A and B are shown apart, each in its own frame.
Chain A
Amino acid sequence: MSDIILSVENVAMDFDGFRAVGGEHGLSFNVNRGGFLGLIGPNGAGKSTTFNLISGVLKPTQGRVAMNGVELSSLKAAEIAGHGLGRTFQTPRAFPSLSVIDNVIVGSEHSEEGPLAALFGRWRPADVELHEKAEHALERVGLADRLHDSVANLSGGELRMLEVARQLNRDPSILLLDEPTAGVDPNLQVKLSEILVQLHADGTTLIVVEHNLAFLLNIADSVVVLQNGALLAEGDPDSIRHDPAVISAYLGADHET
């Protein structure tokens, strides 16, 4: 069992009596340590809600989520992030008061972040190191020349990459990406795909929600398909491509890959 890093067990989420995730029996799936899971499904299938349940933004109505055997349901989102879980959002979330580089640095575990360190100026050496590291993360996502820009000047795709850089910079052991290619230009998509392959090779566990299946199915090693909040299919990319239920529900009858 030790190779399972994240387990979702019988999880269900109701919004005002409407079951957004879980179907009749609750949603269950496991993610292997170092695995690359694609999470797909039609709009409204509950993919983003599932992310919110795992990362602690939402608390499940029933069921449990565990990471490395630690039950997450009772932890705050910030504590879950502290356990090494990183995530991006379907709508990119930047901090508009901060510059591009500060948007990344602020996500670091800063050893001298408290008010007393601020008062006595002890934070400077640690900050210099973090600055370099953040610069490197921004370089990886192609934002190296925008370090001191205001985030208001970034395009939607660049904001998405900024969010990816903020999480990369934290070296999460498990990273959840919500539609990372949406609005991102093709060159950057290639770059992103390279980053994900590299992270995968380095042993980071990845869970990626994506509508761009050509992008996802080429790099993921397993896929979970959701429909109406319930598990429709689970397997390796090849079997998902040819699963009749998946084709009729999501890929479309005339789908070719």
Chain B
Amino acid sequence: MTIYAIIIATLTFGAIFSVLTLSLNLQYARGGMINFGTVAYFAAGAYAYAIFTQEPPSGLDQYRFGFDMPWYVGFLAAGVASLLFALVTGWPTLRLRGEYLALTTFAFAEVFHSLLLNERRIGNGSVGLANVERPDPTTLGMSDTVGYALAAVVLMLVTAFVFNRLLKSPFGRTIDAVHDDEIAAQAVGKDDARIRLQVFIISAIPIGFAGALYAMITTLVAPAMFTAEVTFFVWIALVLAGEKTIVGAILGAMALVLFQELVKGVPFETVRGAQIAASVEEIVTGILFILVLRLRPWEKLSKRNAS
């Protein structure tokens, strides 16, 4: 694997997962909500894209729905699907706090995963939907990989821009107030439950778009791609570079994806070597995570800068 390929892959997947960490940054660092079901919103977007763009079922296909729409309709449908899923899961759960919300969102994601796995009429069950339709970047004179890397980076930048704009506005101020002290926020007429739900839904939309882009790049959606590992991956990425800032959310995802791509890029002589490298990669990620939680380097750094 060349350095060029590693850079392109890191940009592509780093940007896609950055969209997820940016959304978690909004939900958690600003909104105070722990969402451990992130992957479900991602999957909802990916499946919605695949279902809206694929051809109607024929032959041995077990799925029931295929709307054969253009890619941009599928892309929009992905955002809407994630939004609706956030509405359905957020409405009953957002009254919960901290770890209770984490457990509930995790459970919702597991139920959704199980539904995709067992309900063949939605997405062919464990087989998934292959040959996902996608626009061809070569018509714009770009290679396939560069085109999708660019698309992912644009989605990431737009997400960062929109979230930044939200947080710098009176809406952001209200989010902070509700997060800081909901009783005091209520005393000045802020409906904390409504604001939390708004934050939850807004932050889910880009996750759906990222899911659609992920489906285009991999040209496949299957339950095995959307396990809780994705959720843990983005949470680790978020915490790694400091969960408080938009730049931190992006850097964390980029760094973690780069690390993975580097390990993948090592030319292993034997299968055994590759297996060991894969396990070591997970162990190192875990150790990094523990170290960051334990030593809190970013907090110390920001305190030093402030004083």
Contact = CB atoms under 8 A, between A and B. Distances in A.
B170 A123 contact: yes
Nearest to A151: B180
A78 interface: yes
Contact of B191 (A76, A86, A93, A97): A76
B147 interface: no
Contacts of B192: 78
Interface stretch (B120-128, B181-189, B255-263, B271-279): B181-189
Contacts of A115: 166, 171, 198, 202
Nearest to A110: B170
A116 to B, nearest CB: 9
A84 B32 CA distance: 28
A97 B187 contact: no
B44 to A, nearest CB: 21
Give chain B's interface secondary structure class: helix
Contacts of B180: 94-98
A105 B180 CA distance: 15
Contacts of A127: 170
A77 B187 contact: yes
A78 B184 CA distance: 10
Interface residues of B, number: 27
Interface residues of A, number: 40
Q: Which of B168, B179, B186 neighbours the largest number of chain A CB atoms within 10 Å of its CB?
A: B186
A119 B181 contact: no
Interface string B41-54: 00000000000000
A97 B186 contact: no
A24 B198 CA distance: 44
Contacts of A76: 186, 191
A77 B188 CA distance: 9
Interface string B101-142: 000000000000000000000000000000000000000000
A81 B170 contact: no
B181 A109 contact: no
A115 to B, nearest CB: 5
Interface string B158-171: 00001001101111
A170 B187 CA distance: 11
Given A81-B187, A102-B173, A106-B177, 10 more contacts: A77-B186, A93-B184, A95-B185, A108-B188, A115-B166, A115-B198, A115-B202, A118-B169, A123-B170, A127-B170
8 contacts: A57-B187, A78-B185, A94-B180, A95-B184, A106-B190, A113-B170, A117-B169, A118-B172
Interface of A: 55-57, 76-79, 81-82, 86-89, 93-98, 102, 105-110, 112-115, 117-119, 121, 123, 127, 163, 166-167, 170
